[in-house]
A = this chain, B = another copy of it.
Amino acid sequence: MGVPRQQVSRNRQTIINTASRAFRERGVEAAGVADLMKEAGFTHGGFYNHFPSKDALAAETVESTFRWAVGEHRKLVEATANGQPEALQAGLNAYLSPEGRDNPGDECPTGTLAVDAARQGGAVQAAYAKGFEDVLRVMALHFDPDPQDEPAAEKSRDDAIALLITLVGGITLARALGQANPTLSERVLAVARKRLPGRDQPPKSPLKKG
């Protein structure tokens, strides 16, 4: 077989990880199979030993990227609840910063992959929707870690949705303006940071003013 089983699955994961960055940076369509394989250190013919199609890779990559992101979010939410009250706020501020804006390949896919999900549809959109639900669940825990009834659960969920709307809207606009009007782009980030739902809110929300 030429390549040990263990190495094969490592290589497969390398392709997914490479695609994960490339898709977030350039978009699913703009990142070609040959490019991805080259970046991952292979010739492009071998791609189809691992995946039946580019679409299948895209769907699995979206899944994989959200799995990572949800883990990161969980860490922040748990740290915030357990003695590091600034943890989540700091993470969100970093996301809504020029660094976060200019490094989409390192950041949460909720923003970057939204348009790809909308335009690609099918398995990619399904993976995005599942990932988004997972992100939502984790963020809702932050607003209410133990909702006592259905209305309370819905409220925390809506709070999480509002938070994600602001994050995605802010980062999307900041990236759209990035090169052409850097000043306005940073103003958008500043407004988004300042108006993050959860700020200036009473009891239930442990989010601190930063």
Task: Give A residues with C-beta under 8 Å from B.
Answer: 26-27, 29-30, 110, 113-115, 117-119, 121, 125-126, 128-130, 132-133, 158, 161-162, 164-170, 172-173, 175-181, 184, 187-188, 191-192, 194-195, 197
If A30-B29, A166-B165, A179-B121 touch, does A115 touch B173 (CB 8 Å cutoff)? no
* A132 adjacent to B169 (CB under 8 Å): no
Q: Determine how close the nearest CB of chain B comes to the CB of A124; give it in whole angstroms.
A: 9
> Which of B27, B178, B191 lies in contact with A158, CB distance below 8 A?
B191
Q: Bound state CA distance, A184 and B178, in angstroms?
A: 30
Q: Determine how close the nearest CB of chain B comes to the CB of A100; give it in whole angstroms.
A: 13
Q: List 19 A-B contacts (CB under 8 A).
A: A26-B119, A114-B173, A114-B176, A117-B176, A118-B176, A125-B177, A129-B176, A130-B180, A133-B181, A158-B187, A161-B188, A162-B195, A165-B169, A165-B170, A165-B173, A165-B195, A166-B169, A168-B172, A169-B172
Q: Which residues of chain B come closer than 8 Å to A192, judged between CB atoms?
A: 162, 165
Q: Bound state CA distance, A162 and B170, in angstroms?
A: 9
Closest to A29 in B: B29
